[in-house]
Amino acid sequence: MGKNMILLVEDNKNVQKFNKRMLERNNFDTEQAMTLAAARDFLAQRTPAAIILDVGMPDGNGLDFLRELRQTSQVPVLLLTGYRIDLTFLREFTTNRNDYLKKPYEFEVLLERLKILMQKAGMKT
């Protein structure tokens, strides 16, 4: 497992493909999950350096998945959401191990937020 392997949990094939291509251009290895179930299966076998997680998934809510994940893992997670952000969300989900980015976003912003999140977790990017 490369130290910079990112798990992309996103159900939109175009977004998934674009983020994969751009992350790989920036020296990250990527794995993909189109559902939360696929992400769970992946995480049962391997641990990524970070996860980019869409909040709105076809088989559940990414926020519930993150709560579940936090019971066993501290892997950094960058949430992607098209939903309205409120103070409750910010308080619960923005920590040293979590951050969020509102859709639509510029890839350069995603990349920088990801790097900062990984650095806060003590990783080199």
Per-residue pLDDT of 50-105, as tens digits, reads 999 999 999 999 989 998 999 999 999 999 988 776 656 666 666 668 888 888 99
3 vs 76: CA distance, rounded Å: 13
Q: Which residues pair with 51 in a beta bridge?
A: 7, 77
Contact 10, 35 (CB under 8 A): no
Quickly tell me which residue has 């350069």 as its tokens.
Answer: 108
34 vs 97: CA distance, rounded Å: 22
Q: Report the chain's mean pLDDT, rounded to a whole number.
A: 89
pTM of the model: 0.91
